[in-house]
Amino acid sequence: MSIALPFLAIVLVCAICAYHRVRLAVCAAIIATLLAACWLGGANKTATLVAAILAGLVAFPLLISPLRKRLITSTLLKFYTKLLPPLSDTERTALESGTVGFEGELFSGKPDWNKLLTQPKPQLSAEEQAFLDGPCEELCRMTNDWEITHVLADLPPQIWDYVKQHKFFGLNIPKEYGGLGFSALMNHKVIQKLAPMSSVLSSTVGVPNSLGPAELLMHYGTDDQKRYYLPRLADGREIPCFALTGPFAGSDATSIPDYGIVCSGEWNGAKVLGIRLTLNKRYITLAPVATLIGVAFRMYDPDGLLGDKKDIGISLALVPRDAEGLIIGRRHFPLNTPFQNGPILGKDVFVPLSQLIGGEDCAGQGWRMLMECLSIGRSITLPSTASGGAKMGAIVTGAYARIRKQFGLSIGRFEGVEEALARIAGRAYATSALSEATAAAVARGENPAVPSTIAKYHCTEMGREVSRDVMDIHGGKGIILGPRNYAGRSWQASPIMITVEGANIMTRSLMIFGQGAILCHPWVMKEMKSAQLEDPKQRLEQFDAALFGHISYALSNAVRSWWFGVSGSFVGAAPGGDYTKRFYRKLNRYSAALAVMADTSMLLLGGKLKFKESLSGRLGDVLSQLYIASAMLKRYEDQGRPAADHPLLAWAFHDAIHKIELALSGALRNFPIRPVGWLLWLLIFPWGRRAEAPSDRLGHRAASLLMTPCEARDRLAEGLFLEACENNPAGRVNSYLPKMILAEPVERKFLKALKNSDIEALDFPAQLDEGVREGWITADERKQLEELREMTLDTIMVDDFESWELRSAGSREGEASPPKSHRAAA
């Protein structure tokens, strides 16, 4: 044992120093001290001397900077330069366009949780809250989704007028330009409230406040452009749209074939220098009603009118609707969700250079401008829409499952329905936390490129899953469309959110990890930039710092990942209270595992990694679930650690951890270099996979919260429009829940007495009469049961129609419409 002691001491010290990320010089000093102690303490002197020599051979060249750079760094720099995948200008722009927030910590393997927990709690200003409680609530009262989706296929005129009058199109436009000057968090809250009432309305409000002319003008517009257009956009005199996608360029937006040629032309009676545009766009939201069209195109200057550069690059311009040669096409009809959407065509459309967003100075900068603004819009509109839908689905489905009875029991008491309710509850909780976290990041001034892709993908996917479970629980109530249906249109529209603003398949497999691995990694971007420096001395100096920072980081994460795996994450420093410390420790473990997987993949696969989309997608899933879990824990802390929310937090957290292990397992089992996958498995899962999906017991607790009025349920419902008005059947069903629960004991007493009596089958009023006469119930209890029956009928009733009512307006023009309108049916 005395022979092995010096070597064991070195290994132990190196592991502990790596775990705690102690500097190499300090680690070397500790090793020297321990070896001296071994020498003096009776350990085998030969073994101690050999251990000291080996340690010195390793430490000496690493600690002497000039020697290290000459012997090690210069050689590795040459190898790295060959390994480094070539980056196109568009890829480089995409990677450099965003900022890095707490998601960077999740790539570190040792997250600094204080950076997350000290972020200010997201809160609206008094002015914003007043708008949300005033004009926004009134807009919800005015909204009749059946009229919008079936009768008009559009918003009614009074809603268009109201939206313009109250500047819903100018939520984020500064007050100095006539807008409301609200925060990104407020934008999120507005969309979240409107979306469950009508996805047509929420998209109509969301698009002008997302990526489009207003957002681009605020960031890049000239002073003249801002002064003229922003006030008109804020009050609705101009309706904007942004034309990017075309038949041959969807997710690959850099390949747009639309072009503009610099030339002279006539504008407002004067001959000016401008661009003649040819374009073919489709899927453009608000295009059919837009008066101001933002257009992305590739700009060419073949005659050298602006300089020597012929291919200027992607540029952005503002084109008035009445521009000669511009054709606003007919409407698309996206899955029975008739928000204004359609194609735009243009042939020889002339606009002056002054219509370039940002003026002539921004010619060719369109891709950068889009990348810098796209994450802002992607962070809010679709995640907020999904959040609103998931939260409303959770609240109303919980009420419905308690009110609706089969076999004498509320359907929510059946375990199969309970499983679906638990999924709805946990995913609504996660979606709400994730969407608010990304909106809050934008409100703090960040440009969250990676979190925006995480939020867009996972909020819309979880929203679709919630909608599916909502439909399953509602059964026939969900599939029969009509004024009473509050679930069917959300289900129909769910694929739209999956598709727009970057198809989800591409977002997951290419963008989340593809951007995250470089943008969020603490060293990779520094290495890439330093390797491309022109000054050799500066290049070697900076690459050396980044390289050995990366190596120490990788060694630390390997040790941390193995230790967390062996110990089951039961030890280690972590913030939080008694309930959540274990959650933070688990995230520490999987943060280290992600870092190890990312470093190994980039080192061994190099530029081929971006073509390994399945691996990239799985590692993106790990990063995403880490971020989602972090957002949930931050929300829990911001809300004062409410114990009542524990079932929701625990279900959603265990679901996230289970998905992390599934993703890591899939990545390791399918790693392109099989022996490396086996070794990494031993490092990351030394005892095998341990995380399990949320238990049935936990699911029961989460589902019960949705079916019972309580503070946790009220918190989940915050931000929704739940007024029990005529146009809000979901609000009515939710309002019945407390009264229904109060009536349950009376109902049970009455039904038991009726079952044990000799009374022949009678209609319900006659049964109540008999109950009062026999003394089973009092007169007041009779009224309570009558009210219960009315509430139950309103909850379960569906609509039916005359055949003529279901024909399109065009097919029955000139046909005499029967006076009978739709009627409700049980």
541 classed as catalytic: no
Q: Which tokens belong to 769? A: 């009469």
Distance of CA 370 to the CA centre of its chain: 19
What φ, ψ does residue 266 adopt, rounded to 5°?
-105, 135
Q: Considering 446, 501, 747, 781, which one is annotated as catalytic? A: 501
Query: CA–CA separation, 241 vs 394, rounded Å?
Result: 33
Q: Which tokens belong to 633? A: 């824990």
Query: CA–CA separation, 518 vs 433, rounded Å?
Result: 25
DSSP string of 308-326, one letter each residue: S-SEEEEEEEEEETT-TTE
For residue 267, what are the β-bridge partners? 270
Query: CA–CA separation, 763 vs 318, rounded Å?
Result: 68
Query: CA–CA separation, 548 vs 556, rounded Å?
Result: 12
Q: Which tokens belong to 27? A: 């680690």
Query: CA–CA separation, 681 vs 687, rounded Å?
Result: 10
Longest dimension (CA), the chain: 109
Q: Which residues are CB-contacts of 763 (< 8 A; sequence separation ≥ 6)?
A: none
Class of residue 514 by CB neighbours under 10 A (exposed 0-12, middle 13-18, buried 19+): buried
Q: Which helix (H) or strand (E) holds 341?
A: strand 341-352
Class of residue 267 by CB neighbours under 10 A (exposed 0-12, middle 13-18, buried 19+): middle
Query: CA–CA separation, 616 vs 601, rounded Å?
Result: 9
3-state SS assignment for residue 286: coil
* DSSP 8-class letter at 510: I
- For 543, other C-beta atoms within 10 Å of its C-beta total 25
Query: CA–CA separation, 462 vs 394, rounded Å?
Result: 12
Query: CA–CA separation, 76 vs 70, rounded Å?
Result: 10
Residue with tokens 């210069």: 74
H-type helices in 21-109, by residue range? Answer: 24-40, 45-63, 65-68, 74-83, 89-96, 103-106
Which of 773, 784, 707 minimizes the C-alpha distance to 744? 784
Q: How far is CA 801 from CA 480, 482, 484, 818, in A?
A: 11, 9, 13, 11
Q: Which helix (H) or strand (E) holds 22?
A: none
| CA geometry: angle 117, 119, 121, nearest 5 deg | 95
Residue type (1 letter), 565: G
Question: Active-site residues: which are they?
Answer: 501
